[in-house]
Every structure is written in structure tokens, then in C-alpha cells.
């Protein structure tokens, strides 16, 4: 069944006018007509069954009928990702929505080529992925900022899973609070869920600058992890890390 994210309050008997793009999708692409059912959510009121109530040349109107699911808070997991090439960044945003990330933060690093991206387009991708994956909210996509600034302002109660592409070089003593990077599942089990939530950090293609990396490893809220012996592209690392987090500390773990 079609699911749409809408900004409107949802309650029995409410009428919702979808955006022009959504109306076109419903009537022209999916060819819904009066009486057809669909599902709506707004991130606050749960999921509701609605029906097409009116169709006109200017758009359509939906009538909200009954709640199908209660609103539920997903695990408190965010993704911090360096700006990578557009296609891979779009994939990462899509995957973060499927894998239950609450928010995606975009960071520029020393080895990041781009310093801006089309955030509006990323928000549309996140919305569409949220509609298709069955979640009841749309992940927030924050405007890009410098990674240094983002870390300086970091809430120290939130742990940061740093996917350290360079892994454990036995000839280097990275020191710092994090110590040696462990395999991701083991590191997450040891760190535990905590009270302030988690974020996953994915670096740029080519990795972090050595100084950035040493600084990250020295931060008390950082848990460095390894993702196996092979080099992963940024989108692969993002999906792997989010899946491992959900399986260890999130809503894929045994109840």
C-alpha cells in the first residue's frame, strides 16, 4: 500500500491536501481515484489509513479514517558522514533512512573535495525512502558543517562509533581514550547502549587525514571500530556500520 509523509496533523475525520508533487504521484503515476486507500504518517501521530476523497485538476484531497500504527520512537541513532561524491552520498542518505537513522549530519573534512551539496534533494530522498521502508518518521538531514566544528559542539553524552578505515596499525600507538580499535560488534557490546544515544561516523573516500584521525581517537565519546580486513567504499561502510549497530544495540537485536 502507498505510504506518504505529510506535515498535517492526523486524526479521524481530518482532511489532508497533499503537495502538488504528491497529488501528481497519486493520481497521474499511481492512478488512484476517489475511494482508493493509502497510508499517511507525519512523525507525530502514528500511521493512518486514508482514502482519496476528491480529485480535481488542481490536486486531490485525502480523508483520514483510522490509525493503523501508534507512533513509536526509533532507537537514538544518528549518522555523521563526510561529503562524498553525489551518487554515493544519495545512496548513503537512502540507506540511513532504511536502516532507522534519526538524523544525518554532513561534515566537511580535510580530504573532502566538496563543501556543499543539494540538501533539498537529500531531504526528498530521505522522505521517499522513509515512505517505502515503513517507518513513521523521516530522518532529519542537517546542513553541512565543518567536521571540526561538529566535534567541538558535540554532546559528550552521545557516543560516536568511528569506523576507522585505517584499522589497527600495530606500529602506531594512537593512545587516547579509545585505545585500540576493536571489531565493531565487540566494541559496541563493550560500550553498551548508554543514555545519550549513538552516532556512526563515516569518513571521506581516502580516509581521514592522520591528524584528524588522531584527534578523533583521543575524544572520550569516540568508540573506534574496525569493519574487517578489506577497504570499503563509504556507502558500504555506512550500511555495514548502521546494520551492526542495529543488530547489537538497536531494534534488530533480540527483544
Total residues at interface with a copy of itself (CB under 8 A): 36
The distance between the two most distant Cα atoms of the chain, rounded to a whole number of Å, is: 70
Where on the phi/psi map is residue 117: left (φ > 0), alpha (ψ -120 to 50), or beta? beta
Q: Which three cell numbers stand for residue 94?
A: 537512502
* Residue among 76, 84, 221 nearest 153 (CA): 221
Please tell me whether residue 251 binds a copy of itself under the rule CB under 8 A.
yes
- Considering the complex, state which of residue 68 and residue 219 has its C-beta at the smaller distance from a copy of itself: 68
d(CA 127, CA 11): 21
Measure Cα distances from 148 to 6, 12, 119, 216 in Å.
35, 47, 20, 10
d(CA 165, CA 161): 12
- Considering the complex, state which of residue 78 and residue 98 has its C-beta at the smaller distance from a copy of itself: 98
Taking CB under 8 A as the binding criterion, the range among 15-23, 54-62, 94-102, 115-123 that sits at the site for a copy of itself is 94-102
Instruction: Name residues contacting a copy of itself, limited to 153-182 (CB under 8 A).
Output: 182
Instruction: Name residues contacting a copy of itself, limited to 209-248 (CB under 8 A).
Output: 226-233, 236, 239-240, 243-244, 246-248
Supply the minimum distance, in Å, between the C-beta of residue 34 and a copy of itself. 27
d(CA 55, CA 227): 51
Supply the minimum distance, in Å, between the C-beta of residue 133 and a copy of itself. 4
Binding track, positions 113-152, relative to a copy of itself; x by CB under 8 A = -------------------xxxx-----------------
- Considering the complex, state which of residue 61 and residue 180 has its C-beta at the smaller distance from a copy of itself: 180
d(CA 43, CA 140): 11
Judged by the rule CB under 8 A, the positions of this chain that interact with a copy of itself are 91, 94-95, 98-100, 132-135, 182-186, 226-233, 236, 239-240, 243-244, 246-248, 250-254
Amino acid at each position: 500500500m502507498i505510504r506518504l509523509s505529510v506535515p498535517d496533523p492526523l486524526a479521524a475525520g481530518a482532511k489532508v491536501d497533499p503537495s502538488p508533487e504528491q497529488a501528481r504521484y497519486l493520481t497521474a503515476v499511481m492512478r488512484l481515484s476517489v475511494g482508493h486507500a493509502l497510508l499517511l504518517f507525519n512523525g507525530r501521530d502514528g500511521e493512518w489509513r486514508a482514502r482519496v476523497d476528491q480529485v480535481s485538476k488542481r490536486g486531490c484531497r485525502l480523508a483520514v479514517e483510522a490509525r493503523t500504527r501508534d507512533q513509536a520512537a526509533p532507537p537514538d541513532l544518528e549518522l555523521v558522514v563526510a561529503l562524498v561524491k553525489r551518487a554515493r552520498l544519495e545512496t548513503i542518505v537512502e540507506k540511513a533512512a532504511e536502516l532507522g537513522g534519526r538524523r544525518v549530519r554532513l561534515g566537511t573534512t580535510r580530504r573532502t573535495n566538496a563543501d556543499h551539496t543539494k540538501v533539498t534533494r537529500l531531504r526528498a530522498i530521505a522522505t521517499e525512502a522513509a515512505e517505502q521502508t515503513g517507518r513513521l518518521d523521516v530522518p532529519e538531514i542537517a546542513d553541512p558543517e565543518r567536521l571540526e566544528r561538529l566535534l567541538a559542539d558535540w554532546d559528550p553524552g552521545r557516543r560516536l562509533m568511528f569506523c576507522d578505515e585505517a584499522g589497527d596499525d600495530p606500529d602506531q600507538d594512537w593512545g587516547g581514550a579509545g585505545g585500540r580499535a576493536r571489531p565493531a560488534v565487540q566494541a559496541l557490546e563493550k560500550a553498551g547502549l548508554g543514555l545519550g544515544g549513538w552516532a556512526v561516523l563515516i569518513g571521506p573516500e581516502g580516509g581521514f587525514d592522520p591528524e584528524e584521525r588522531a584527534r578523533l581517537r583521543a575524544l572520550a565519546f569516540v568508540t573506534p571500530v574496525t569493519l574487517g580486513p578489506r577497504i570499503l567504499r563509504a556507502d558500504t561502510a555506512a550500511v555495514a556500520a548502521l546494520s551492526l549497530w542495529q543488530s547489537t544495540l538497536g531494534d534488530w537485536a533480540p527483544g
